[in-house]
């Protein structure tokens, strides 16, 4: 992608900020829309190169005004993080549903080519217990967050049918990298290991996740925007399963930390969100773009630790 005018909602967030940097590097004009609710993860030199608006995506008038002349919208603004979502289920859903409506209506009125939407692998719920999941499998959204993301996928599919808007939904699998905050497990373990505090593994630590490096996720997100037709869903997964226990050991070793690894009960509010196994297939992504996430966890963690110094 080059010479496009690209709007990124949630561009000051973790994945959004990495996406913005890559879009700039490729020679695009970038407009960021973000409430800065969780702070601004965009480095100051990047702020100088973009058009920035502190606005809520649910504000339709503002979205209409700010997306004029754009070619593509990346709609990445969301309320997320298990603890925050569990405490604010209604606000989470409202931001998702109302935000998507306002983004979509602005896109229609302004004749924007396509919408790239950040969905979630959380939509799969417990269906990944037997094998890795592909986009065809019946999903199992159980939380306000996953349900609202699934609703928006269906909304985008319907929007194509009724209004001809082309779009893509990206089901991200546990993305990690520099600038992620400690709502998520990897930055939490790194913070604990750095402070010499115990690494708090929840439950048996046998639950698995498919940790995907943020630069790989951004690369996939940009490649998929090249040729958007109809409505399609893509997993963005590393296709490698790691248990949380293994993750703790890996981080402790890479950091030469003397921290203990403790196994404790997960906070009660996480119970609905906890799944025993989650890993995905990126075959569909590969078939479309010739690329799939290829950074192994150890390599990604090493890069992340180096950049955090
Ligand atoms: N986790 C953990 N200790 C922590 C935080 C998280 O063992 O201090 C586990 C959590 O139970 C889950 C996994 O790490 O199985 C990933 O959690 P995260 O909140 O990063 O993402 P999720 O996959 O739940 O959306």
Question: Which of 120, 171, 182, 185 for mutating ligand 1's site (highest number of atoms within 8 Å of CB)?
Answer: 185
The pairing of beta strand 5-9 with beta strand 29-33: parallel
Sequence ranges of the domains in the chain: 5-177+211-239+280-295
Cα 100 to Cα 102: distance, rounded to the nearest angstrom? 5
Tell me which residue has tokens 């405490």: 87
Cα 15 to Cα 76: distance, rounded to the nearest angstrom? 8
**Rounded to the nearest 10 degrees, what angle do helices 214-224 and 14-25 cross at?**
60
> Which pLDDT does position 209 carry in this prediction?
96
Distances from the Cα of 257 to the Cαs of 116, 250, 305, in angstroms? Answer: 40, 10, 13
276 phi and psi, to 5 degrees? -75, -25
- Report the CATH fold assignment for 5-177+211-239+280-295: Rossmann fold (3.40.50)
109 lines ligand 1 (CB under 6 A): no
Cα 292 to Cα 55: distance, rounded to the nearest angstrom? 33
HEC assignment per residue over 237-276: CCCCCEEHHHHHHHHHHHCCCCCCEEEECCCHHHHHHCCC
**3-state SS class at 278:** coil
The pairing of beta strand 208-209 with beta strand 242-243: antiparallel
96, two tokens? 């998702």
Give the gyration radius of the chain's Cα atoms.
Answer: 19
Closest residue by Cα to atom 6, ligand 1, is: 185
Q: For residue 273, indicate whether it is catalytic.
A: no
Closest residue by Cα to atom 10, ligand 1, is: 202
Distance 148 CA to ligand 1 centre (A): 20
**3-state SS class at 222:** helix
Cα 250 to Cα 253: distance, rounded to the nearest angstrom? 5
Cβ(252)–Cβ(193) below 8 Å: yes
The rounded Cα 20 to chain-centroid distance in angstroms is 14
Which of the residues 74, 117, 124, 145 is marked catalytic? 145
274 lines ligand 1 (CB under 6 A): yes
Least Cα distance to 197 among 258, 263, 264 occurs for 258
| Cβ-based neighbour number of residue 138 at 10 Å | 7
Cβ(123)–Cβ(86) below 8 Å: no
Distance 190 CA to ligand 1 centre (A): 13
Across the chain, the runs of DSSP E, i.e. the strands, are 5-9, 29-33, 51-53, 72-75, 114-120, 166-172, 175-176, 199-202, 208-209, 212-213, 231-236, 242-243, 261-264
Least Cα distance to 224 among 215, 236, 213 occurs for 236
Cα 190 to Cα 198: distance, rounded to the nearest angstrom? 11
263 lines ligand 1 (CB under 6 A): no
Distance 37 CA to ligand 1 centre (A): 22
Which of ligand 1's atoms lies nearest the C-alpha of 174? 23
Per-residue pLDDT of the chain (309 residues; tens, 9 = 90+): 999 999 999 999 999 999 999 999 999 999 999 999 989 999 999 999 999 999 999 999 999 999 999 999 999 999 988 888 889 999 999 999 999 999 999 999 999 989 999 999 999 998 877 678 999 999 999 899 999 999 999 999 999 999 999 999 999 999 999 999 998 999 999 999 999 999 999 999 999 999 999 999 999 999 999 999 999 999 999 999 999 999 999 999 999 999 999 999 999 888 878 899 999 999 999 999 999 999 999 999 999 999 998
Which of ligand 1's atoms lies nearest the C-alpha of 192? 8
Cα 198 to Cα 229: distance, rounded to the nearest angstrom? 48
**3-state SS class at 149:** helix
> Which pLDDT does position 259 carry in this prediction?
98
| pTM of the full structure | 0.97
> Which pLDDT does position 139 carry in this prediction?
93
> Which pLDDT does position 11 carry in this prediction?
98
Which of ligand 1's atoms lies nearest the C-alpha of 273? 24
**Rounded to the nearest 10 degrees, what angle do helices 297-308 and 244-254 cross at?**
50
The pairing of beta strand 5-9 with beta strand 72-75: parallel
């Amino acid at each position: 992608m080059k010479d496009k005018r690209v709007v990124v909602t949630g561009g000051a967030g973790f994945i959004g900020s990495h996406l913005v940097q890559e879009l700039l590097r490729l020679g695009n004009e970038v407009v960021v829309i973000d409430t800065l609710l969780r702070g601004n993860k965009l480095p100051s030199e990047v702020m100088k190169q973009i058009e920035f608006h502190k606005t809520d995506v649910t504000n339709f008038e503002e979205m209409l005004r700010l997306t004029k002349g754009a070619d593509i919208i990346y709609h990445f603004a969301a309320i997320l993080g298990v603890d925050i979502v569990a405490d604010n289920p209604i606000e989470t859903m409202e931001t998702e549903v109302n935000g998507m409506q306002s983004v979509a209506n602005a896109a229609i009125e302004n004749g924007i080519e396509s919408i790239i939407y950040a969905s979630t692998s959380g939509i799969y719920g417990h269906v990944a217990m037997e094998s890795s999941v592909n986009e065809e499998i019946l999903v199992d959204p159980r939380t306000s967050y996953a349900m609202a993301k699934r609703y928006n996928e269906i909304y985008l599919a319907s929007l194509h049918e009724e209004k001809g808007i082309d779009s893509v939904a990206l089901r991200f699998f546990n993305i990690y990298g520099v600038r992620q905050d400690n709502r998520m497990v990897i930055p939490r373990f790194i913070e604990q290991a750095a402070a010499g505090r115990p690494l708090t593994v929840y439950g048996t630590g046998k639950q698995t996740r498919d940790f995907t490096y943020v630069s790989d996720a951004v690369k996939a997100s940009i490649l998929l925007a090249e040729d958007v037709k109809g409505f399609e869903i893509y997993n963005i997964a590393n296709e490698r399963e790691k248990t949380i226990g293994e993750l703790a050991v890996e981080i402790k070793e890479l950091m030469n930390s003397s921290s203990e690894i403790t196994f404790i009960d997960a906070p009660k509010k996480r119970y609905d969100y906890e799944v025993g196994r989650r890993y995905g297939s990126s075959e569909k992504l590969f078939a479309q773009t010739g690329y799939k996430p290829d950074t192994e966890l150890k390599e990604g963690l090493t890069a992340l630790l180096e950049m955090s110094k």
